[in-house]
Amino acid sequence: MKIYTDLMDIKRPFHKAALTIGNFDGVHLGHQALFRKVVDIAKETGGDKVALTFHPHPMKVLRPDNPPKLISTLEQKMELIMASGIDHLVCFPFTREFAATSARDFVEGILWHSLGVADLVVGYDYACGKGRQGDISFLRQMGKQLGFRVHVVPPVKVDGRTVSSTAIRELVRQGNMQDVKKMLGRYYQIRGVVRKGKRRGGPVVGFPTANLAINKEDLCPRPGVYAVQVVHGEHSHCGVVNIGYNPTFGDNKLGAEVHIFDFSKDIYGHEIKVNLVERIRGERKFSGAKELAAQISKDIELAREILRQAGVC
C-alpha cells in the first residue's frame, strides 16, 4: 500500500478510483465493510482501491479541549487498512482551514479532480464539508453532475447494536473486552516500548514484568488485571497485565505491567503489542508483596484457562 500525506504527492488522479472516506478510528467491522465494498468494486472495474483519511483526528482540531481518546494509533490504523486490501491511502492533514472547505469544493476539487473518484463508497451516516452540508443526497447529486457512482454501505450490527467508534470507546472504558472484540473483529491492543520500571516485579514480588507507559492521549481500558496475548517481534506469548496505578506500592502514575508466561528474555527498549482478551478483576491494594504475589498466582492460573479456552494458548 502506498501512503500519501500531501495531495502534491499525487501526480495524476488515480485510475477509476473506487474510494472510501472516513476517520477509520479502530478500523472496526463497519470500516471493514467499506473496504470490502471498495475491493469488490475495483475487481469489477479494474480501478485503483483508495481510502482517504485524516490526521490528526478532526475532533482534536475542532475540540482541542476535549478530543476523543483514539482506539488505534495512526501506525496501527495504517497497518489495518493495508491488511484490508487497499492500494492507496491518502492521509490528509486536517486543519481549521480545511474544516472551512465547502462540501462542493471538497467533492469537486479533491475527490474528483485530485483523486479521480469513479466509485465513492460511504457509510450510511456520512456527510462532508463545512457544517456537514454534503450528505448522501448531495453526494448523489454531485455524482450525477461529475460522473461518479455513490455506494452507501448500511450499518453493521453486533448483538443488535450498531458498530461505531463511540460504542467501542465506551466498551473499552468498561473493560468489556469480549464485546470490544466482537465490534473490532480482533482483540483490543495496546502497544509501546518496554521501559525500566521500579524493578519490583521479579526481585520483590516474584513475577517479572515488562512495563509500558500509558499516555494521557491514549484510550485506557478500565483499570484492572487482564488475560492477554503479547506479541514480540514475530512471536506471540500469553500473559497477564495490570493496568492502573499499583496502589500496593503507592504509585500514582498510570501504566501497564505485563507478566509474560514462561519468558525470560531481556526486552528493555523493545516494542511489544498487548492484545487484551478478558478482564479478570479490578485493581486492588494489598497489604504487601506477599499477599500481592499470592493473588498474582491465582490471576495467572485463571488467565491460563481463559487464554486456553480462547484458543490463544
Given CATH 2.40.30.30, say whether it is the number of domain 187-309: yes
Give yes or no for a contact between 146 and 108, defined as CB atoms under 8 angstroms apart. yes
- The pLDDT assigned to 58 comes to 92
Domain ranges of the chain: 2-158, 187-309
Residue indicated by cell numbers 520483590: 204
Report the C-alpha gap between 24 and 242 in whole angstroms. 28
Give yes or no for a contact between 201 and 241, defined as CB atoms under 8 angstroms apart. no
Q: Which residues contact 156 (CB under 8 A, 6 or more apart)?
A: 29, 30, 33, 162, 163
Q: Which residues contact 170 (CB under 8 A, 6 or more apart)?
A: none
Q: Is the pLDDT at 146 greater than 50, yes or no?
A: yes
Q: What is the mean pLDDT of residues 12-22?
A: 98
The CATH architecture of the domain made up of 2-158 is: 3-Layer(aba) Sandwich (3.40)
pTM: 0.92
Confidence class of residue 202 from pLDDT cuts 50, 70 and 90?
very low
Which of these, 99, 152, 88, 151, lies nearest to 124 by C-alpha position? 152
Q: Is the pLDDT at 199 greater than 60, yes or no?
A: no
Q: Is the pLDDT at 57 greater than 70, yes or no?
A: yes
